[in-house]
Every structure is written in structure tokens, then in C-alpha cells.
Amino acid sequence: MANAQQRPVYRFAPTPNGRLHLGHAYSALINAQSAERFGGRLLLRMEDLDRSRCKPAYEMAAIEDLAWLGLTFEPSIRRQSEHPADYEAAYRDLEAQGLLYPCFCAKSEIEKASAAAGLGHDPDGAPLYPGTCRARRIEAPQGAARALRLDMARALARAPRELFWREFGEGERERLQRADPAAWGDIALKRRGAAATYHVAVVVDDALQGVTDAMRGRDLFAATSLHRLLQELLKLPAPRYRHHRLVLDAKGEKMSKSASSTPLVRLRQEGVSAADIRAALGFAPAPAQPRLAVRLS
Ligand code: GLU
């Protein structure tokens, strides 16, 4: 019997800014399946840092949807909005290493300067930052800047020359994946008015919660390069990564809250059962007459 320390720790970490859809169901179910298979723990984390878009009502609805799917998480939920001091400590650490600088540029200025310099885009599609404020190094009171940016060149110089992560996909075969954090350029790691950005919060939380297996959608594959760099800079442990397939909508695009993805609650109201959803997503044998057809990437 594995002792407590060796038990793998999985987490499902939705952003409660809308109702859960089939993409969330797939992620939650595959985390639960893995935790069960390997005798692991299953945590629920609410990534609710964006206070303007995340609502307690969505959190409650997500909990209800997950229970309806038949999933049981450990009862204590970590809400990112309740832990600003944990993220603040990470920012102080990066700042003490001289790796952050304040940025005053407006989005439109960045777009123009980045295009003029022919810099291209980061993996999320944002224009790479041209370094305007890095060159200025303006001393400004805390909070006056629009953002704190990572000095990528300095950060890379502090990290091992080659960075990797352990990638398993949905299987059990491990592959060493080379990280490419430079692709993110001088990314904004903190924005005015927000306790943290996703990238900082996720590495801090995974470490504090003892997550051993970060199982999440392939849409976050490229972000893992940046997460590995942050883990090195902040001396945080790196979990195993298991990037899973994505559920596609009718147009063959990734499901997202903004697109025309049917929320689970609507399917439920239309008479679709949790068993139908499990079957459609491949977690139970398909019935002779499936109620739902789903495509995975
Ligand atoms: N909160 C993110 C989302 O809803 C997931 C982040 C993660 O699993 O690392 O897409």
C-alpha cells in the first residue's frame, strides 16, 4: 500500500466565469479516472482571480454540475481569490531577483511597436512585447504601472540552459518535452488591479497543493514552457504533465465558454443523462443508440 506521501495528487481547476461544458466534463472525468486508477487524491481548485468575470454563482453551478456527473472531490476547495499573499510572495521573490520591471504601455502601443519591430506573437496570440519599458526601467510607486513584466533574457540566464518537463499525454509512456519559454517574450506576469496572472498562480498553487500530476487540456501545452521556467526561478517542484485531448464543437473548434458550446446544464434540461455524457466522452461503453456525439481533438 502506497503511503500518503507517494499518493499522486490530481486537480481539476476550472475558471468559474461561465457554466461548465463538455470540455470541462472531459477534463474532470479524465482527472477522476486517473486518480482512481492510481489511488490518487482528487482536488478541486477555483481559478477565480478575474473578479469581474468570476462569480460565486458560477462556482456553485460548477460544483452542482460536477456532482451531477457523479464526481467526488476532496471537500476543501482552494479558491485563488482567497490567497493573494501566496502570489505576492512569488512576485517579491522574482522582484528580489531583478526579474520584473514595470510596464506603462497601452495595448495599442504594444501592438504598433511589436508589429513595427516584426516581432510576431506569443503562443496565446498576443503580440510579443518590444521591450519599451525594459529599456526605460522607470522607478515608479507600486501599483502605478499597468503591468509587471518578466525580463525574459535575465530569467533565462538564471535557469538551466535546457529546460524539460515530463509529458505523458493521456497515456503512461513518459516523454521528455523540451520547454521553450523564450516564445513568451517579456510576458506580463502581473496586471494592475489583479492579485496574480494565471501563470504565476498556477505554479504557486500546484506546488502548495502538492499536485504531482497536472492533467489539463492541450490548449495549455505551450504555457507549460513558461510554467517550467517559473518553477525554476521560484524553486518550486514540477509536476508530471498530462495534456489531454480537447472536445471539439460542431465547427471542429475547441469548446470554450464564449463559443457556441452547450453548457452541461442545458444538456441536462434536454434529458441527457450523466451516463450519456460519460459514454459520449469515452468513459463508459457506448450504447447502441448514443444520445450525444462528441469529437475529440
Ligand atoms: N483554469 C484553467 C481553465 O479553466 C485551467 C488551468 C490548468 O488546469 O492549469 O482553462
pLDDT digits (tens, 9 = 90+) for 66-96: 999 999 999 999 999 999 999 999 999 999 9
Ligand 1: does its nearest atom lie under 6 Å from the Cβ of 13? yes
Pocket test for ligand 1, best of 19, 59, 216, 228 (most atoms within 8 A of CB): 216
Pocket test for ligand 1, best of 12, 17, 198, 246 (most atoms within 8 A of CB): 198
**Within its chain, how far is the Cα of 109 from the centroid?**
27
Is the pLDDT at 157 greater than 70? The verdict is: yes
Is the pLDDT at 53 greater than 60? The verdict is: yes
CA of 12 to the centre of ligand 1 (A): 8
Q: Which protein residue has the closest C-alpha to ligand 1 atom 4?
A: 14
Q: So what's the pLDDT on residue 243?
A: 98
Which residues lie across from 166 on neighbouring strands?
176
Q: Which protein residue has the closest C-alpha to ligand 1 atom 3?
A: 14
Q: Is the pTM of this model over 0.85?
A: yes
Interatomic CA distance for residues 189 and 105, integer angstroms = 14
Q: For 156-160, what is the mean pLDDT? A: 97
Is the pLDDT at 294 greater than 90? The verdict is: no
Which residues lie across from 41 on neighbouring strands?
9
Interatomic CA distance for residues 226 and 228, integer angstroms = 5
Interatomic CA distance for residues 131 and 103, integer angstroms = 9
pLDDT tier at 6 (50, 70, 90 boundaries)?
Answer: confident
Residue closest to 27 by CA, chosen among 35, 38, 37: 35
Q: So what's the pLDDT on residue 268?
A: 94
